[in-house]
Chains A and B, each alone.
Chain A
Amino acid sequence: MEKKRGRKVMEDKEEVAHKGIAASFLCIAVFAFLVRVAVSLHPYSGAGNPPKYGDFEAQRHWMEITLNLPPKEWYSNSTSNDLSYWGLDYPPLTAYQSYVHGLLLRFFHPEAVSLFASRGHESYLGKLLMRWTVLSSDALVFFPAVLYFIAVYYAGHSNGRKTDIAWHIAIMLLNPCLVLIDHGHFQYNCISLGLTVAAVAAVLSEKELLACFLFCLGLNHKQMTAYFAPAFFSHLLGKCLRRQNPLLEVSKLGLVVLGTFALVWWPYLHSMEAFLRVLARLAPFERGIFEDYVANFWCTTSVLIKWKKMFATESLKLFSLGATISSCLPSMVQQIWAPSSQGFLYGLLNSAFSFYMFSFQVHEKSILLPLLPATLLALEEPFLLKWITLNALFSMFPLLCRDKLVLPYIALSALFILICHHVPDRRQDRKETRSFNSFMTTFLVFCSVVLHGVYLTMDPPSRYPFLFEAVIMLLCFSQFMFLAFYSNAKQWMLLKHTILMDKEKKLL
């Protein structure tokens, strides 16, 4: 009788908790969507800036191409598809997405996507419809993925407080960098990142096949999703190795991966030549090892060592491949050795960091990828999240300045700080380092605020026209390096923790 009542209470509690999650998710999601719509009022990249415009024009051009040409010609240079003008250089899923969105645009505003005639098309309705395609993708992919993740992540800890969960949802949905890039600058990162979040949630809920499928979709939307591939690979491999029949498990996953890829690449599988042509478009090695002023290893060290001048592209490719693999190896080894949910999230962060730091052709926006696992870990690592977000924002500041997005930059940073202000801090063990920490963080925040002001108001000396960008890059790079070391160390400390736990269990 007692037990029955107890179970009833538990069920009631669970129901209340679920209702609580749903209500707070709904509320925060509507607010986050409102923020996105408000950001989308602002200018997009390359607005009113002929002849090349910016990412907005690129996406619109892809819609124009996919809508008016058969799939086979999407990736090949021809009289009707000039690849030197924003040629399609994302995997086929992006092309299909462009096609669907192109249909929508053609229905309401045919001039915006007519072949040739629409180049550099800019209009009130055109902007609005384009913005709405991103908004709807966000609402249809990223938001449900976050809900899925939250539901899975907090299904285990029934004692998770309601405010904690609400805070975590807010952090994930109101990530200022993602909102600024997608709805301000104009890109569709919400789709690939949303698919990744859903894949992570599927991994956490032990649905490996679904996870593989979702992750491959993400990979086929944006090749940059490969930043997470080592973590997925090592975690799933580690898990499979612990099962009764490892080979069967691995081959099942492999089949899902191959099947998904075949499905997405179907129009290009009829000949090797077509396949290779698409592949060549996806890996633009001719664009150099880094672009603009990105706060990664190659760009920062090129202040001292002129990589681009000293080495040929071929050797740089090898360098970057070697450096990337060796830097994400420790985290992979940890996951193969002892796969765990928490370790997997750290692994995602670490592999994304090593790709951001060392891989070929990275640009500022790629910081969104390490940022994503940091938001997934928000409740465990509030400081890490705060620090990486602020630095990521700062590292993108020159880019956003060019896009005339300073106002939403300020507003969203302020909003993020306000949300962080309510951080549910459950840790007491950091008190010793706190005074030093707070001194350093205050100093760095002060530096970055000053740099913001300088960047906005002063002209750089004519001898070094990119002096301020370089200083911003140096500052952010140092912070990212520190954070990458920290999170690698944390991942390995998890191992120690679990070993200790195991020992204790044995002793008991």
Chain B
Amino acid sequence: MSELLWFFGVAACVKLLLIPSYHSTDFEVHRHWLALTHSLPLSKWYSDETSPWTLDYPPFFAYFERVLSIFANLIDTQIVHLQEGLNYSSDTVVLFQRITVILSDLCLLYGVYRLTKDLDSRRRISIWVLIIWSPMLVIVDHMHFQYNGFLLGLLLMSLSYLEEGRDLMGGFVFAVLLCFKHLFAVAAPVYFVYLLRHYCWGGFVRGFRRLSVLGAVVVAVFAAAYAPFVYHGQIQQVLHRMFPFGRGLCHAYWAPNFWTFYIILDKGLAFFLKKLGFAIQIPAASFTGGLVGDSSPFAILPQITPLTTFTMVLLALSPCLIKAWRDPRPGMITRWVAYAYTCGFLFGWHVHEKASLHFVIPLATVAVQNLDNARHYFLLSIVSCYSLFPLLFEAQEYPIKVLLLLLHSIIMWLAFSAQFTKEETAPIKKKVDQLEKRSSNATAKRGEGFVIGGVEKSYLVGLLAVEIWGQLLHPLLFGDKLSFVPLMLISIYSGLGIMYSWIWQLRWIIRSPNI
């Protein structure tokens, strides 16, 4: 534990140093929520419209903000003032909010501790490095400003309980997590099937008793969260705020997912058909604007509704659900949950690029299991971290994000090399082997050690090219014109990597033998 605290301490020092860095409007969002929960009675939390940043997280998060606001009030009363606090950005409020994020990461620390306490030291350190020093968390939480570390800590805790076989606790923590942030609900089908089969199955009486215990626990958690709002007759309003389907299919900056390719395909088709002489009406609504009205934004391809995305997520999930039903194994649960979040990320409605954290962080524990997984994770974590780059667009933070990613890649490389040169390497897929042989690398020929294949290598080099294009060549060649192209390129290129990761995970899940 003290070693783990050392890793945490080093990370905390860097996070402290990053306090004056750029923060997005999410900072003001959370500041406003502090003021909102502090100065209004509970019945008005979800109906207040003083600021455009209305409360749209589930009640537990609102309670969390309420607790923080007590301390905020002690430090500086202006932070929690509903009107005077608007866009308040003095040093005290920045310091206070940043430090709450750093401290709330203790939850992540505990989650990692629980998840790794039975592993051997080399694997354990690898996981710590991958999660505690994750550049994605630093970028999203400590610069852009959010509380993901804390929420992911809850997820890891839940997974650790499930892996230990303490299903009830796992389900309980997951229910709590859902009441903090409902975006985590994508994995709920996996949890449902797994808990039903692993915890409740076996004998009618025993099964029924366990099912009712589990149900009672979940209902109790949800009651604790939502009952006060039901009592005040606010539940409709709460749900309305939490599920704003009025937003478009894609966020202002396209998350690197399936829909990016869909839009590009549509634009490309429209362009070519128009050249060929067809009368195509190109809709006025722009995807880069973020908000899309009722009219279909697509010229050729059918419109996508929330229901379509929902069905696609479920469809993509189904192989995993079938596996979980047939053979509910605790050792596979992390992989399944991560896969569920990957599906949600790829096919979901209005997905943020930050949501890639939901599967990259849990997959770190899978990565250390064998060489093949490590190779996949190496690629995935670099790509998904890179896809977060547009979050920090100011010149001051540019070296920081680049260095964070570089440091992460180097450490990851060193950790995996150290781990896999000493161990017996797992059987490597033939295809990868051939690729390595072709590159006639001395270490690759031996077939051991951490080496990535040629395709992966060239993909990562391509990433560098995309970055150089966006930062250097595009402004030189086009100036300010077509300024959306570099961002689009990042989305598309990282989208390829994430699609690859999705297929890789899916194949691994399907191929895993039933016992």
Residues of A within 8 A of B (CB): 23, 26-27, 30-31, 33-35, 37-39, 41-42, 124-125, 128, 132, 135, 407-408, 410-412, 414-415, 418, 421-422
Binds A, one of B285-293, B325-333, B401-409, B451-459: B401-409
How long is the Cα–Cα vector from A325 to B423 in the complex, in angstroms? 60
Say yes or no: A421-B6 contact (C-beta < 8 A), given A27-B410, A30-B406, A414-B13: yes
Q: Is B9's CB under 8 angstroms from A418's CB?
A: yes
**What is the bound-complex CA distance between A408 and B17, given in angstroms?**
6
- Taking A42-B20, A422-B6 as known contacts, 20 extra A-B pairs with beta carbons closer than 8 A to each other, sorted by chain A number, are A23-B414, A27-B407, A30-B407, A31-B407, A34-B14, A34-B400, A37-B403, A38-B14, A38-B17, A41-B21, A42-B17, A128-B395, A408-B16, A408-B17, A411-B13, A411-B14, A411-B17, A412-B13, A418-B10, A418-B13
B277 at the interface (CB under 8 A from A): no
* Number of cross-chain contacts by CB at 8 Å: 67
Give min CB distance, B453 to chain A, whole Å.
21
Enumerate B358-402 residues with CB–CB distance to A below 8 Å.
395-396, 399-400
Closest CB pairs A-B (n = 7): A38-B17, A411-B16, A415-B13, A34-B403, A411-B13, A30-B407, A41-B20
Contacts of A42 in B (CB 8 A): 17, 20
How long is the Cα–Cα vector from A77 to B68 in the complex, in angstroms?
58
Are A37 and B399 touching (Cβ within 8 A)? yes
List 18 A-B pairs, Cβ < 8 Å.
Answer: A26-B410, A30-B410, A34-B400, A34-B403, A34-B407, A35-B14, A37-B399, A38-B18, A128-B395, A408-B16, A410-B16, A411-B13, A411-B14, A411-B17, A414-B16, A415-B13, A418-B10, A418-B13
Residue of A whose beta carbon sits closest to that of B21: A41
A368 vs B406: C-alpha distance when bound (angstroms): 30
B414 touches A407 (CB 8 A): no
* B106 interface hit (Cβ, 8 Å): no
Q: Enumerate chain B residues within 8 angstroms of A135, measured Cβ to Cβ.
A: 399
Give the CA-CA distance A207 to B240 in the complex, in Å.
76
- Could you tell me which residues of chain B, from 12 to 56, have a CB within 8 Å of some CB in chain A? 12-14, 16-21
Distance between A163 CB and nearest chain B CB, rounded to angstroms? 12
- Centre residue among A33, A418, A421 by max chain B CB count within 10 A: A418
For B10, what are the chain A residues with a Cβ–Cβ distance below 8 Å? 415, 418
Q: A128-B395, A415-B10, A418-B6 known; A37 and B16 CB under 8 Å?
A: no
B9 engages A41 (CB within 8 Å): no
Q: A33 CA to B17 CA in the complex, in Å?
A: 13
Instruction: Tally B residues with Cβ within 8 Å of A.
Output: 24
Which of chain A's residues has its CB closest to B17's CB?
A38
Chain A nearest CB from B100 CB (Å) reads 16
Interface centre among B95, B404, B407 (most CB of A within 10 A): B407
Most interface-central of A31, A132, A412 (chain B CB within 10 A): A31
Residues of B within 8 A of A30 (CB): 403, 406-407, 410
- With A38-B14, A415-B13, A418-B13 as contacts: A33 and B403 at CB distance below 8 Å: yes
Question: Taking the complex as formed, is B193 at the interface, i.e. its CB lies under 8 A from any CB of chain A?
Answer: no
Within the complex, what minimum Cβ distance (angstroms) separates A5 from chain B? 20
**At the interface, yes or no: B125 with Cβ under 8 Å from chain A?**
no
In the bound complex, residues from chain A placing their C-beta under 8 Å from that of B396 are 41, 124, 128
Q: How far is the CB of B365 from the nearest CB of chain A, in Å? A: 23
In the assembled complex, which residues on chain A have CB atoms less than 8 Å from the CB atom of B95? 407
State A164–B27 Cα separation when bound (angstroms).
Answer: 42
A418–B406 Cα gap in the complex (Å)? 23
Which residues from B are CB-within-8-Å of A37?
Answer: 399-400, 403
The verdict on B411 contacting chain A, using a C-beta distance below 8 Å, is: yes
A136 to chain B, nearest CB (A): 11
Residues of B within 8 A of A26 (CB): 410
User: Nearest Cβ distance between residue A493 and chain B, in whole angstroms?
Assistant: 34
When distances are taken between beta carbons in the complex, the residues of chain B under 8 Å from A23 are 414
Cβ of B19: which chain A residues have Cβ within 8 Å of it? Answer: 407
Taking a contact as CB atoms closer than 8 A, the residue among B6, B9, B400, B411 that contacts A38 in the complex is B400
List the A residue with the shortest CB-CB distance to B397.
A41
Contacts of B17 in A (CB 8 A): 35, 38-39, 41-42, 407-408, 411-412
**Chain B residues with CB below 8 A from A38, complex form:** 14, 17-18, 21, 400
A-binding residues in B (CB < 8 A): 6, 9-10, 12-14, 16-21, 95, 395-396, 399-400, 403-404, 406-407, 410-411, 414
| B62 CB to nearest A CB, Å | 30
* Minimum CB distance partner of A39 in chain B: B17
Task: List the B residue with the shortest CB-CB distance to A132.
Answer: B399
Which residue from chain A places its CB closest to the CB of B399 in the assembled complex?
A37
Interchain CB contact under 8 A, B14 and A27: no
Which A-chain residue is minimally distant from B2 (CB atoms)?
A421
Contact present for A34 and B16 (CB under 8 Å): no
Which residue of B16, B17, B406, B414 has the most chain A CB atoms within 10 A of its CB atom?
B17
CA distance A118 to B9 in the complex (A): 42
Q: Is the CB of B411 within 8 A of A27?
A: yes
Question: Across the two chains, which residue of chain A brings its CB closest to B396?
Answer: A128
What's the nearest-Cβ distance from chain A to residue B12, in Å?
A: 8
Question: What residues of chain A lie closer than 8 Å to B406, measured between beta carbons?
Answer: 30
A490 CA to B16 CA, complexed, in Å: 38
**A407–B14 alpha-carbon span in the complex (Å):** 11
For A39, what are the chain B residues with a Cβ–Cβ distance below 8 Å? 17
A421 to B3, CA, bound (A): 11
Contacts of A124 in B (CB 8 A): 396
CA distance A35 to B13 in the complex (A): 9
Chain B: minimal CB distance from A457 (Å): 14
Residues of A within 8 A of B16 (CB): 407-408, 410-411, 414
- Which of A34, A125, A128, A411 is the one whose CB lies under 8 Å from B404? A34
**A128 CB contacts on chain B under 8 angstroms:** 395-396
Which residue on A lies nearest to B98, using beta carbons?
Answer: A407
- A344 CB, nearest partner CB in chain B, Å: 33
Contacts of A418 in B (CB 8 A): 6, 9-10, 13
Which of B13, B395, B399, B403 has most chain A Cβ within 10 Å?
B13
Bound: A414/B9 CA distance, A: 8
Smallest distance from the beta carbon of B95 to chain A beta carbons, Å? 8
Q: Which residues of A contact B21 (CB under 8 A)?
A: 38, 41
CA distance A125 to B14 in the complex (A): 23
A365-B127 Cα distance, complex, nearest whole Å: 41
Docked CA distance A37–B143 (Å): 14
A23 and B418 alpha carbons, distance in the complex (Å):
12
- Complex: A410 Cα to B6 Cα, angstroms: 16
The residue in chain B whose Cβ has the minimal distance to the Cβ of A413 is B13
Q: Which residues of A contact B395 (CB under 8 A)?
A: 125, 128
**Residue from A33, A37, A408 having most chain B Cβ neighbours under 10 A:** A37
- Give A124's nearest chain B residue, CB to CB: B396
| Residues of chain A with a CB closer than 8 A to B403's CB | 30, 33-34, 37
Kindly state the separation between the CA atoms of A124 and B20 in the bound complex, as whole angstroms: 13
A272–B406 Cα distance when bound, in Å, is: 53
Distance, CA A135 to CA B403, complexed state (A)? 13
With both beta carbons as reference points, the residue of chain A lying nearest to B8 in the complex is identified as A418
Which residue of chain B has its CB nearest to the CB of A415? B13
Separation of A26 and B417 alpha carbons in the complex (Å):
15
| Complex CA–CA separation, A38 to B407 (angstroms) | 14
Chain A residues in 8 Å Cβ range of B13:
411-412, 414-415, 418
| Distance, CA A508 to CA B167, complexed state (A) | 73
Residues of B within 8 A of A35 (CB): 14, 17
Is A41 touching B18 in the complex (CB atoms < 8 A)? Answer: yes
A287: min CB distance to chain B, Å: 33
Bound CA–CA A128/B395 (angstroms): 8
Interface centre among A38, A41, A408 (most CB of B within 10 A): A38
Q: Give the docked Cα–Cα distance between A422 and B7 (Å).
A: 12
- Can you name the residue of chain A whose Cβ is closest to the Cβ of B408? A30
From residue B419, how far is it (CB to closest CB) to chain A in Å? 14
Using CB atoms, name the residue of chain B closest to A23. B414
Q: Name B407's closest neighbour in chain A (CB-CB).
A: A30
Least CB separation from B15: chain A residue: A411
CB-nearest residue of chain B to A131:
B396
CB distance from B312 to the nearest CB of A (A): 40
Shortest Cβ distance from A392 into chain B, in angstroms?
A: 18
Closest to B9 in A: A418
